[in-house]
Structure formats: C-alpha cells, structure tokens
Amino acid sequence: MTANRKVVTDIANAAAQEFYRCADAAIATRNRFCVALSGGSTPRGVYSLLAADQRSGTHRLSWDRVYIFFGDERHVPPDHPDSNYRMANEALLSRVPISEDHVFRIRGELDADAAAQQYDKQLRAFFNLQPDEWPEFDLIFLGLGDDGHTASLFPGSAALEEKSKLVAANWVEKFKDYRMTLTFPVLNHAAEVMFLVSGEGKAQILKDVLRPIAAESYPAQRVQPENGKLIWLADQAAASLLR
C-alpha cells in the first residue's frame, strides 16, 4: 500500500476535486456514493466549498445518490458547539439538496455505548453486511491530531485494539469522556481514505507520522487501506518539515 502524498496551497479546493472524482466514479459504477465525514476544524473549509459549488452551479453532483456518514462524533447532542454533525450540517448538509434519510449521524446525545451500538447496527443494515463482513465506504475523510490520533482513535485508548466492532465507544482520558468512532478495520476496508492536514501546528506530527524514526507508532499510521487508496493532502505549512 503506497500512500499518495499531495502538498497543495488550497487544501479545500484539492479535497473538493477529489470528493467529486470519487463521487462521480462511485455513482457511475454503483449508483451511490457513501462517504464518511471527519470532524474538527480542517474539513469545514472543504464542506463550505462543496456547498458554494452547489449554489453557484460550479459542479453538478447528484446529491440524491450521496449518502453521508461520520467517522466519529463527540459525546454531545447534535446542536452542541462541539458536535461534528453540527459543523458538517452548518457548513454543508443544510446547504445542499440531500434528504435527511441520506444522512446518518452518530447519536452523541445517547449513552456512548448505546450510540456506538446503534450506529454499528445502522451500518450493518445499510451495507447489508453478514456478521463477518466490513462496510466499504467509497471515501473516508480523516484528520490528524497533534498527538497522532485520527477519527477518535487516540493514543493509548482501548478502541485502537478493536477488531470486531464497526463502531466503538472509546474513553478518551484527556477529555475525561467518551467519543464514538469508526474502528481501524472499517477505515482499512474503505475504497479511499483521505487525510486533510493543515497548518504549521501539524508540521511536526505529520513528519513523525510519515517518516517514523523510532518504532513508536501513532494511531494515524495504522490507517493502511487493504485494497483502497490512501491520500495525504497537506498544505504548504503542514508539509514544511517534509522537504
């Protein structure tokens, strides 16, 4: 598995173009596009650009064939300022012609285990999975934390070792709370995973993750799609130590 690394000046534009490429290809071959969105701050610009393109007619996407999922969610209600769903809804989902029954949010307002189990069940039903099967997302957006986490797979957390669940309720010590997250087997069964990394603050961790010196491993390094594409999309500031 070789990762494709791209350094860009405008991460939103590059990510949007890849989103369209993936979507058009999936819709052409399977008549649907199943994408898992990431949270945090970096992807907001991409989501806003997708919405702006829809409004301006810059790119005509068949939103009625798009199905939106989430890579992780905080243990908060959907209207909470920290909610990944709220961020994606404000920036994108409320601004494009996608019906509510095509958006599958993780119900962060529930007990964490209940939310994870409910999402796990929802994914198994949507993808019509047998007990030993994994969903194949057409695209999964991921971010990179400065501690090397991705989704809500944090260093030292229990979900790093999850091998059978699709979705885990993961206790994150630094937040003294749970987060719900897709597990590595789901990430690694995707047709494509795209990391979005932006800003000088991520330069060191990006270098450490992409050019590991010691045996130390960061969670993000364990994203290695078995048969899918892995793209690292970084802006000049985040990639400044890679030269």
Burial 20-47 (b: 16+ CB within 10 A, else e): bebbeebbeeeeebbbbbbbbebbbbbb
Binding flag, residue 208, ligand 6PG (CB under 6 A): no
Amino acid present at 144: L
Point out which span in 25-33, 38-46, 57-65, 111-119 binds ligand 6PG (CB under 6 A). Answer: 38-46
Nearest in space to 166 (alpha carbons), one of 123, 203, 206, 200: 123
Cα–Cα distance for residue pair 68/37, rounded to 1 Å: 7
The answer to whether 116 and 75 have CB atoms below 8 angstroms apart is: no
Token pair listed for 58: 């810059």
* Chosen residue from 18, 22, 35, 42 binding ligand 6PG by CB under 6 A: 42
Q: Which of residues 56-75 bind ligand 6PG (CB under 6 A)?
A: 71-72
Site for ligand 6PG in 118-177 (CB under 6 A): 143-145, 149-152
**Residue with smaller CB distance to ligand 6PG, 61 or 104:** 104
Kindly state the smallest distance separating residue 231's Cβ from ligand 6PG, in Å.
15
Distance in Å, CB of 164 to ligand 6PG, minimum: 22
Q: Which is nearer to ligand 6PG, 67 or 195 (CB)?
A: 195
Please report whether residue 53 would count as binding ligand 6PG according to CB under 6 A.
no
**Count of chain residues binding ligand 6PG (CB under 6 A):** 15
Window of 10-18, 25-33, 40-48, 91-99 that interacts with ligand 6PG by CB under 6 A: 40-48
> What are all long-range contacts of 123-129, with beta carbons under 8 Å and residues at least 24 apart?
123/69, 123/166, 123/167, 123/186, 124/166, 126/67, 127/34
Among 19-27, 36-44, 57-65, 89-97, the segment contacting ligand 6PG (CB under 6 A): 36-44
Between vectors from CA 154 to CA 210 and to CA 200, what angle results, nearest 5°? 45
∠169-174-180 over CA atoms, to 5°?
Answer: 15
d(CA 59, CA 138) in angstroms, rounded, equals 19
Binding status of residue 40 toward ligand 6PG by CB under 6 A: yes
Nearer to ligand 6PG, 54 or 150 (CB): 150
From 18, 37, 39, 69, residue interacting with ligand 6PG (rule: CB under 6 A): 39
Q: Which residues bind ligand 6PG (CB under 6 A)?
A: 38-42, 71-72, 84, 143-145, 149-152
